[in-house]
Amino acid sequence: MIEMKTIRIDAKGIHYTPLNQQIRAAVADGAEEIILDNVLGQRFIGTGLKGNVLITINGVPGGDLGMFMSGPICIINGNAEHAPGNTMDSGMLVIHGSAGDAVSHSMRGGKVFIRDNIGYRGGIHMKQYKEETRPILVVGGTAHSFLGEYMAGGLVLLLGIGKEKSITDRGIGSGIHGGEIIIRGEVDDYLLGVGAKKFKFNESDLERIAPVIKSFCEYFKLDPAEFLDTNYTRIAPESSRPFANKYVWE
Amino acid sequence: MTLGSVPPKFKVGIDRDQCMDCGRCIENCSYGVYHRESDKILIESRKCTACLRCVAMCPRDAITITEKPVDYRSHPIWTREIREDIIKQARSGQIILSGMGNARDIPIIYDRLLLDACQVTNPSIDPLREPMELRTYIGKKPSKLKLRKTEIGDIELETKLAPNLKLDTPIMIGHMSFGAISLNSHLSMAKAVKETGTYMGTGEGGLHQALYPYQDRLIVQVASGRFGVNIDYLERGAAIEIKIGQGAKPGIGGHLPGEKVNDEVSRTRMIPFGSDAISPAPHHDIYSIEDLVQLIRGLKEATEWKKPVFVKIAAVHNVAPIAAGIARSSADAVVIDGFRGGTGAAPKVFRDNVGIPIEVAIASVDQKLRDQGIRNEISVIGSGGIRSSADLAKSIALGADAVYIGTAALISLGCRVCGNCYRNLCPWGIATQQPDLMNRIDPDRGAVQVANLIKAWTLELSELMGAAGINSIESLRGNRDRLRGYMLDEGMLKILDVLPAGA
């Protein structure tokens, strides 16, 4: 096995700008793996970062982790704050814990895996162009309101592990005009937002998302067999123009 | 239908003696007013929008268009427009969508402000002979400078300066997105700003590859829909603008009708083909002023603190304290968009009723920032209804650093302000994504027209300044002593901090 070039950075007491400068310098220096220790609330880690680097974050990063990020894989051994994966382009965030509001806001590509729960507005405004880019957000636990609101593309998968009902907050997929939200088990009708519609989850859907489930389980050491059935609800747009009937021309 | 039809808005006529039957009107009208039946050109007046494309292209001046060919019973309260809006809504139960800026006939403050000139006691300056300094820097200015003597006795600047944009003239072109307007319109304007040493906004529709050669003259926009935003886009721009609000529709998001979302637009925005591009009312990662700081710093962090970040807000009642908050948020410039600002599509009730005039917004923001001693922290860009070099000069005298123009730039490309921008049928090739219509604009020729407009206004601004004995834009900025109000009430004069004419 070839040794990866690893750089270790102690983030204790460092402001986010010099921390990001050190990360960028390490990537420019050819680092394949960066380990950040003692991370405590530094915002914008990996913001705008490009390249194929594996970043392990030990601690709790601050808001906008991996914002505009393009390429890197970040493994977070802790919770994350507000909007990890905000407008992320490609790459991956694997969060061993929970995250705050607006997770994967406007995400354009790549994957965000959250072991536990997320706050409000998860996956809001996620985008996609054809099949070339398909952002994926997987949440192991549950989510608060407005999950997948205004979605224009991508996949939100919510597994509801350890919950009686995967989700009990309302406003799921309001204004959704592309992409899909897949939720483990049944979803009460009153939780759906305007423009969102429930569809039957069938074998071909399972075939499509099985690789995502397997990958998620691998990262968090779960048995994928538990999740490989059709006990899901698929939520997708009622139409591609949910607001077309709201307006009349002057 | 018990409501019947409303009278046509326009009546189109062809002078059959003049007409040479060339059919250019048929070719040019994308609304389908004209068609040929046997050997006669027939007219469907009801389809006409008065875009005047046919009139402009008719070689014989044979076409006449008359507005409101059918009279309603005149009434001061129940105007034709109000009656027709009610009929439309009785039919549909829907929100009325409109294009272009505020179309209400309410007094324009610019027209009631008069500029000063020198007579006898101090001489005016001839801009032909004397240099006129119009160069404008947009961005933070230090409150004081620290200098250091080097070993060899030179003086060096020790203060670290924030990144600024250098404008040769205080006129920029505001944000109109690819999607709302055509690529050829964008190209025309991008070439023009490059030539005239200024900048233009991209709007929130991403950055088409064809615009890359002009990227050092482009301000890239990050709006609530985050369309087209990635690190490459941010790095290409000369500056980044966060759009919080727009003068044509304060408080609500953008709406690009699905008719305009073709494959190119679908790709740059990353939304399904033919679906409406919806920008939400708020940014969903900004629910407070602290969150705005977070996005500004996030954008700066992503681009390594090399680019100025602007924040654009609609001019609303509390615009001054909001701008003061923005000045403390790490932003480098605040763009204030007045209620006459244009749009591709906005609910009419917003376009015509929400927000305040740009003139008062500039004055109150400039005053508030001065009062708080933070005017140097942020540049002020005024926009929304700047129609001429006079409006430009008055805006600067009221306290703006520079202005954005939008509609004026489109008029220089051929727009006749027909206000049907949302239909994707713009016969002038501006507000459309149809290739045959878009190709009616040759970007090289379009660029000359837009650049001509900017040059002409710049010349006029120099003349106005020279006449007032001012040879530097810095001395005009916030110089309200060189303005007088005419037929403005006392309250308004107080807000503008301008004396009445004669005083």
The answer to whether residue B347 neighbours chain A at the CB level (below 8 Å) is yes
Alpha helix locations (H) across A4-117? Answer: 16-28
Rounded to an integer, the average pLDDT of B183-192 is 98
pLDDT tens sequence across B194-216? 999 999 999 988 999 999 999 99
In a domain? residue A32: no
Asked if residues B340 and B102 have their Cβ atoms less than 8 Å apart, the reply is: yes
Task: With CB atoms and an 8 Å threshold, state whether A244 touches B258.
Answer: yes
B255-256 and B113-115 as β-strands: parallel, antiparallel, unpaired?
unpaired
Within 10 Å of residue B255's Cβ, how many Cβ atoms? Answer: 23
CATH number for the domain whose boundaries are B10-94: 3.30.70.20
Q: Which regions of chain B carry the CATH code 3.30.70.20?
A: 10-94
Put simply, the chain B residues between 93 and 112 with a CB less than 8 A from any chain A CB are: 94-99
Q: Is the pLDDT of residue B11 over 80?
A: yes
Dist. CA B192–CA B458, nearest whole Å: 14
In a domain? residue A250: no
CATH number of the domain within which A236 lies: 2.160.20.60
Classify B260 as helix, strand or coil: helix
Structure-token pair, residue A114: 């959250």
pLDDT value for B268:
84
Q: Which residues of B touch A70 (CB under 8 A)?
A: 230-232
**Distance of CA B441 to CAs A196, B12, B481, Å?**
41, 25, 43
Which of these, B283, B280, B313, lies nearest to B298 by C-alpha position? B283
Dist. CA B170–CA B461, nearest whole Å: 10
**Distance of CA B345 to CAs A227, B41, B50, B245, Å?**
46, 32, 18, 14
Dist. CA B94–CA B82, nearest whole Å: 15
Average pLDDT, chain B: 95
Q: Which residues of B touch A105 (CB under 8 A)?
A: 226, 284-285
Structure-token pair, residue B222: 């990050």
Asked if residues B386 and B315 have their Cβ atoms less than 8 Å apart, the reply is: no
pLDDT value for A2:
66
Distance, CA of A107 to chain centre:
8
Q: How far is B252 from chain A (nearest CA, A)?
A: 14
Put simply, the chain A residues between 218 and 237 with a CB less than 8 A from any chain B CB are: none
Classify A121 as helix, strand or coil: coil
pLDDT value for B489:
96
Task: With CB atoms and an 8 Å threshold, state whether B294 touches A82.
Answer: yes
Q: Confidence band (pLDDT; 50, 70, 90) for B466?
A: very high
Asked if residues A62 and A37 have their Cβ atoms less than 8 Å apart, the reply is: no
Could you please report the per-residue DSSP string of A16-30?
HHHHHHHHHHHHHTT
Rg (CA), chain A: 18
Structure-token pair, residue B135: 């160069």
Nearest CA in chain B to A102: B285
Q: Which regions of chain B carry the CATH code 3.20.20.70?
A: 167-471
- How many distinct structural domains can be found in chain A? 1
The answer to whether residue B250 neighbours chain A at the CB level (below 8 Å) is no
Q: Which residues of A touch B234 (CB under 8 A)?
A: 48, 68
CB pairs under 8 A between A and B: 141
pLDDT value for A1:
56
Q: Which residues of A touch B275 (CB under 8 A)?
A: 152, 177-178, 240-241
CATH number for the domain whose boundaries are B167-471: 3.20.20.70
Q: Is the pLDDT of residue B8 over 60?
A: yes
Put simply, the chain B residues between 144 and 203 with a CB less than 8 A from any chain A CB are: none
Which of these, B199, B127, B125, lies nearest to B169 by C-alpha position? B199
Residues in chain A predicted with pLDDT less than 70, given as ranges, are: 1-2
Q: Which residue has the tokens 């890239």?
A: B220
Structure-token pair, residue A212: 């995502």
Dist. CA A168–CA A177, nearest whole Å: 22
Classify B258 as helix, strand or coil: helix
pTM value is: 0.95
Task: With CB atoms and an 8 Å threshold, state whether B95 touches A129.
Answer: no
Q: Torsion angle of alpha carbons B256, B262, B267, B272, nearest 10°?
A: 70
Secondary structure letter of residue A82 according to DSSP? S
Residue among A125, A147, A239 with most chain B CBs within 10 A, to mutate: A125
Of A16, A50, A124, the CB nearest to B231: A50
Maximum pairwise Cα distance, chain A: 68
Q: What angle do CA B232, B238, B243 make, to 5 degrees?
A: 80
Distance, CA of A97 to chain centre:
13
Q: Confidence band (pLDDT; 50, 70, 90) for B188?
A: very high
Rg (CA), chain B: 24
Which of these, A156, A165, A138, lies nearest to A220 by C-alpha position? A138
Classify B379 as helix, strand or coil: strand
Rounded to an integer, the average pLDDT of B248-259 is 86
Dist. CA B393–CA B467, nearest whole Å: 12
Q: Is the pLDDT of residue B122 over 90?
A: no
Dist. CA B271–CA B262, nearest whole Å: 10
Q: Confidence band (pLDDT; 50, 70, 90) for B23?
A: very high
In a domain? residue A71: no
Rounded to an integer, the average pLDDT of B402-406 is 98
Within 10 Å of residue A74's Cβ, how many Cβ atoms? Answer: 27
Task: With CB atoms and an 8 Å threshold, state whether B229 touches A244.
Answer: no
Dist. CA B172–CA B239, nearest whole Å: 13
The answer to whether residue B231 neighbours chain A at the CB level (below 8 Å) is yes
Edge-to-edge strands, sheet with B483-485: B113-115, B483-485, B499-500
The answer to whether residue B476 neighbours chain A at the CB level (below 8 Å) is no
In a domain? residue A192: yes
Q: Who wins on pLDDT, B270 or B159?
A: B159
Give me the long-range contacts of A221-224 (CB less than 8 A, separation at least 24): A222/A140, A222/A161
Put simply, the chain B residues between 24 and 83 with a CB less than 8 A from any chain A CB are: none
Residues 6+ apart with CB under 8 A from B101: B247, B248, B340, B341, B342, B343, B351, B384, B385, B407
Say how many CA atoms lie within 13 Å of A34 toward its Cβ. 29
Q: Is the pLDDT of residue B65 over 80?
A: yes
Dist. CA B241–CA B331, nearest whole Å: 9
Q: Which residues of A touch B270 (CB under 8 A)?
A: 108, 127-129, 133, 152-153
Percent of chain B with pLDDT over 70: 100
Q: How far is B221 from chain A (nearest CA, A)?
A: 14
The answer to whether residue A108 neighbours chain B at the CB level (below 8 Å) is yes
Could you please report the per-residue DSSP string of B165-230?
EEESSSEEE----BTTB-HHHHHHHHHHHHHHT--EE-TTS---GGGGGGGGGEEEEE-TT-TT--
Q: How far is A98 from chain B (nearest CA, A)?
A: 18
B221 forms beta bridges with B241
Q: How far is A2 from chain B (nearest CA, A)?
A: 31
Dist. CA B25–CA B63, nearest whole Å: 9
Tell me phi and psi for residue B446, to 5 degrees.
Answer: -60, -40
Alpha helix locations (H) across B263-347? Answer: 263-269, 289-302, 319-327
Percent of chain B with pLDDT over 90: 87
Which of these, B261, B306, B202, B241, lies nearest to B433 by C-alpha position? B261
- Residues of the domain holding A155: 98-245
pLDDT value for A245:
79
Report which secondary-structure segment, H or E, holds B363: helix B358-371
Nearest CA in chain A to B257: A244
Which of these, B432, B426, B392, lies nearest to B186 by C-alpha position? B432
Q: How far is B282 from chain A (nearest CA, A)?
A: 12
Rounded to an integer, the average pLDDT of B341-354 is 92
